[in-house]
Structure 1
Amino acid sequence: MTENRNGTVVTFYSYKGGTGRTMALANCAWILAANGYRVLAVDWDLEAPGLHRFFHPFLDLADLEATPGLINLITDYQDEARRPADRDPDWHREYARVRPHATSLNWNFPQGGSLDFLSAGRRNRDYPSIVGKMDWDDFHERFGGGQFFDAMRDDMQRHYDYTLIDSRTGLSDIADICTVQMPEVLVVCFTLSDQSIDGASAVARDIEERYHERRIRILPVPMRIDDGEKEKADAGRALARESFPGFPSGLNPEELGNYWGTVEVPYRPFYAYEEILATFGDAPNVSSSMLSACERLTSVLTGGLVNSLPPIDEADRLTHVAAYTRRRPMPPSNLVLTHVAEDQMWVDWLVHVLTVAGFHVVPVDVRAPQSGTPEVEFTTGIGYRVIPIVSQSYLNSERARSSWETGSGLDAAGVRRHILPVRVGDVRLSPPLSNRGVIDLVRLDENEAAAAVLNALDRSEAVAAFASTPAGPRYPGSVPKIWNVRPRHAWFTGRTTVLE
C-alpha cells in the first residue's frame, strides 16, 4: 500500500533577518517529532543556510556535506529537462522526491517520531556559484518549475506529517516559492521594530489579497520580545496587532486576544550566542522560558494537537547542553621552529621548554633541502604556529628571510598559521617581523626566558612545571658559572695554550 500521510507544509518566514525564525522552526520541529510525528525540516535559505547548526550534535556533518540537498534536486531536474527526450507526463516526480536526500537526526524519538533534515545543498566550493547562477524566472518558464515544486510539496505531504520550511528573508523569487506555492501554513516572524512590523504585515496582506484562493493560514508571530523596556514593548505589541488586521483569520475578538497573548517568543540572552535548541537549553515547566514559548507556538501550529515536549532525562538534557556549548578556541599546539644551523643550541633548548609545556614541535633548518615538508607531521587542516629563531645568522640567510617575507614557505597545505618570532641575538628587526609580536630573550636568564616564551604562547600555567622539571639542554643565553673541564696536560704552541 502506498504511504500517504496527508501531511502539513509550514513555512517560517521573516521580512528582516535576526528575528529568531530559524531557532523557532528548529524547536517546533523537535517538539513535533518528540510527540510521535514524522517531521521534515528544510533549509530553503539558499544564500545563508544555517538550520543545520541547531541540529549539529545529532548530525554527521561530514556525511551531510557530501549529501545532495535542495539546490541539487532542483539543478538535477533542470539538467534532465534540458535533455531532449520522450518522457512520461509524470517523469518530473522522480526528481522531486525529497526523502531519499534527507538525513535523519541521530536521536531516538518516542512513539515512532522522527526528524529528518534536508539541507540547502551539498556544501562544496561549487555551491555559491550554483546558487548565484540560478535563474528562477527561467526555471519556471522554460523548465516547468511550478510543476516541479508542486510535485515536491506532494512528496513532502505523502511521507511526513509536518514539513517545516526555513525561508529566505525579504522579497525574492525564492521567498515567493516558500510563502505562496509551498505552504498551507505561513508563520510570519517579526520583531517589534517599525521596519520589521511594516515589512512583515505588508507581505501578509499581499499574500492574503493576491492568493486568497490558496487558503494559506497566516500566523503573525512577534519574536525577540524584551520586557526590559515594558512601555516600549507594549507599544510595539499594540502596533503589531493594528498592523495585522484580521490575522489570523477566522478568530473572534476574544480568540484574537488570546492568540496575541500566547504566541509571542521572548528574547533570552542565553540563546543569542549559540545555536542551541531550547528543548535542551531550558528545564521543563518554566512558563517564561524559550521552551514554553515554542511549545505554545507548536500548539497554535497544530490546532492544539501538540502542547508540550515530553520529558527528557535530566542527565541527557544537560549532556547535550554541553555538546552545544561553544568553547574558547585553543591556540595551535603545533609549532614549527625555523632556524639556521648556527642557532642549534637555541633550538635544543626551545624544543625542551615547549615539549614540557605540551607542544608538538618540529624544528626546520631553513637552509636544508625541504624534501620532506613539516606539514606531514600535522593533521591536515589543524593550525600551527611558525616560530622563527632570529639571530644575526638568521637575518643574513636569504632563505631564512624569504621563509617569512613570502609568508608561504611552510604553508603548502594552505592551513592556518601564526608567526611569532623569538629574538635570541642583539639584532634589529625589520618588517614584517618587526610588525608582529616578538618574544625577546636577549639578556634574560633561563627562568625569565622560559616564562617569556610560554606566556607569549598562552601557556603561563606551564611556567611552574618547567621550573620543576629536571635540567635539559644548556640555556644558550648565559655563560655557565662553572666550566666542567679538568686539564691533564698543558703545553704551549707559541701562540695558544692547548688543554687536554
Structure 2
Amino acid sequence: MITTHELIAKLNESGVEFSVKYLHPNLYIINVDERYSNTENDQRIELFAAQVNIATQDFIELEHNSSIQLCLVTPEERNSDYSFLDEENKRHHWIEVLSGAKQENTNTARSFKTLHFYGYKGGQARSTVLGVLSKFLADQGYKILIIDADIEAPSLDKIFQTKTTRLSETLLGICHFRTEVSTANAYTQKNGKIDLIACRPDNETFDIDFSTFSLHTSLDPVILKNGLTRIGDFAESFGYDFVFIDHRTGISGSVIPLALSLPGPVISFARRDTQSLSGARIFKSLFNLNSGPPGIYVSFSLDPEFKRTGLSQEALKIQEELLMQFPEGFRADVEDAIDSYWIDWFHNKSLVSGTIPDIRKLNPENLSAIREISSVLGLSNEPPHLSKPETPPIDQPLTSSGSTDPGIYLEADFLKRLLSPNSPINYILGRKGTGKTRLVRELHARGLGRPILTAADYNHDGGIGSAAACFKTLVDRRRGSPQSIWCALLHAAIESNYATAQTLTMEESITKNIDREITFQDIKTLLNDQNYQTDHFTFLVDGIETAFPSNEIKKNIESLFSFLLTIQSDSFLSQKITIRLFIRSDLAKNAIENIEQQLDGRTINLVWDEQSIFNFVLLRINQKNWFRTRFPEACEKLKLHEDRLKSGNITADEYEPLLMEFFPLKLRASNIQTITFLRTYFSDTVDSTYSPRLYDRFLEFLTDREKVRVKESEILESHRLGQKLISQAHQAASEYYLSEVSAELKYMLNPEVDIQKFTEGFNGLSTPFNVEVCVRLLHEKTRIETSLVRESMNIMKDIGMFELRPGFSEQWRVGRLFKSSLGMKYVRGTKLTSEVN
C-alpha cells in the first residue's frame, strides 16, 4: 500500500517529470511521455511504476481508494483529451494545497487588509483574540468587518452580543440564498467601528437550511468563493480598513476557499504540545497561500504564572518546529526576529463571561499581546480611512532638561527612586550600554552626588578617571592592601571638596598621600576635623570595568564591596557618607559570596523596557538638528509631547505612530515591520533589557554622512528614512558597540588572548551553537588555546555577549546586540542540529 503523499514524494525523488493539478473533487497526477504511444492503460501503469520503483498494484489501489487520477498520456493526448486540465480551478480544497499543486492567484489587490484566524484544534481563544484585536483597532479609528466562517460552531454574534435577524447579514444568506450584502453593527467607538457578517441568523427557522448550507459548502467550495468575492467588493466600496475571518478548526472544507478568495496573513493558534505539532503541515500549507507576510502564531495558556523562561526543552522544540513551517524565504529574511512571530495569550477573568470586554479591562499581559500582534503584522501602519482628530497640545509648559548632556534625560519609573535626595539606593547595576555613566552625569548635574572615580571618558569636573596616572600609581602602590585604594579615594574626595586653608584637587590629595596607607580611622579623623565637618556627603563611583587589569579586577572588586559594607555598617560613617556604586551586573554578581544580603533593598537594575526605551529614542530624535531640518512637522509633534516623553509616559499606542513619522513602515531587506526591527535588533534577548547606548549610536550614524556612506538620494525615500541608510546605520552602530565592548574585554580576558583576532574568529560561525563545537572551531581559526577560548567565552557570556538558549542546556546563542557585529550566521531547525553535533 502507498499513500498519495508517498507517491508524490517518490516522484520528486525519482526525477520523473510530472505535474499535479486539482480540479474538484479530483487530484490529477500527470506524466507526459512518448513511450505511452500505442499502449494500453495497464501497460502505461507498468512503465510508470517501473520508473518510480513502486509496485503496479499499489497504483491501482491508490486510484481506487483515493480521489486521484493518474494521467499517463502522450503529448498529443495531453493537448486533445486533457485540455480541460488547463482550465482555471475555482473549487479549492485541502487536497490541492497539501499535494503541492500550484494555485493560480487571480485575485485583484484590495484596499483593505485581510486577516485569517485559524486553529488546528479548538479551545485556543481564536474568536476571543479576533474580538479583542478588532476592538483594539476600532478604538484607534479603524473600520473592521468581521466574518464568522466557523460554519459548524459559529460564535461571533454571541461574543459581541449582536443579534442577527436578516439573511443579508449572514454567510447563509449571502452564499446560499445569494442575497445582497449587508452587515450588523457589533461595536462603535468614535470614528472606529466593527461590523459583523454572522454565519447564520439567530432563528430556529433556518436550522435545516443551515445544515444544507454546511453540506453543500463541503461538496462545492465555489459557493463560499463566490460569496466571499461579493463580500470583498462590498468591503472595498464601503471603505473598511480590515476584514477579519474566523475559520473552522482542522481541515474543514471551508478554510481553503476562503483563504484563497481574500488572501492575507494567518493568525494561527497553537500550543507548545504534540496536539498542535500534529497540525504542522496544515499551518505550513496556510502560510504558503499568501505572497506577503505569512502570519504569526498565538499560544493560549491557562497558567497565570506562565513565563517563557520556564518552558521545557520539549515545549521549545515544538515551538521551533512550528516556526519552521513559515516559508523558507520569510524565515531567512526575519532571522532571529522570528521569535517575535510567536505571541502568548493568557486566560483572564475579564474574558470568562464569553463576551469581549472594554480593552482597558484586559490584564497587562494580554493588552501587551494585542499590541504586539498589531505591531508585528503592521496593522496600524496606515492611518484609518476615517480621519482621527488631532491630538490636542499639552497644557503644561515645557521645561528645560536640567542636564549637561546634549540629550534630554529620561526619568523612567525605574530611575525615579534614585533621583530622590534621600534615596536608599547604593548599588546601580546594569549591562554595558544601559546608561550607568549617563546616570552619574545626571546625579552630578543635579547636585545629588559627586564622582570620586569615573569612567575614563567622563569629561565633567569631578573625580579621578579610571585611566588617570595618579590612580594607576595608587593601585600599583596598594597591590598588597586593595581596600586602602578605596580609603585613599574617599579621603581625597573629602579633603579636596572641603579644604579651607588651601583648595586641593583629588589628584593633588592622592599624590600628597601616595606613600601613606589611608585607613578608616584616618577618614573618621578627617570627618571630625572642624574644617571638614558637614551633615552628609554623597559620592559616586563609576568606571570599575576599566580600572584594573583582568587578573586583578576580581580581588579589587571584592575589596570595594567589603569597603562599602564597612561604611554601611559603621554607625558613624553611615550617618556621614553615602557611596553609590555604578557597576556592571556581572561584576557585582561575581564579586563576593552572599552578595544578595548586602544589596537587599539598596539596588536598582538598569533594565529598559520597550516603553521607556522608545520614549528615550523619540527624545533623542527631537534633540538632533538633522531630524528637525528634514522632519519639521514630525518633530513639532514630538515637542508637544516632550514632558511626557521625559517621564517615559508615552505608551505604545502613541509612540509607534510617532516613530513611523520618521521610519518606513517595513524594511524590504529583512521583510519585517520596522517597529519589529527597532524592538528586536537593539535588545540582547527577548526577556532582557534594551541598550540606550546602541540606539544613541544608531541615531548618530543615521545623521552622519561621513560615517555611513549613502548617496544623497538614499537618505530619504517617500519622505521617510531610506532603507539603505537604516541598514548601514545599524551595522555601523553594532560594530562601534562591539569595539567599545572589545576595549573593555582587554581588562577582562587573559592578557594572552588577542582580542581582535578572537572576536574576528566568530565571523561566519553559526548561532545558536553547541558550546564545545564553537570552542573547537575558534581554536582552529585563531590558534588560541582551547582552555583560554572556553574561559573567554564564559566571560563574554557574563557580560551579555552570549546567553543560554532557553531549554537547550548545551547550546548558547549570540546576544542580539552582537550577532551583526560579530558576523555570526543565524540557523534554525534541522540545519542547526547538523551543525552543532
What's the TM-score once normalised by structure 1's chain length? 0.48
- What TM-score results when the alignment is normalised by the length of structure 2? 0.30
Q: Which has the higher contact order (CA 8 A, sep 6+)?
A: 1
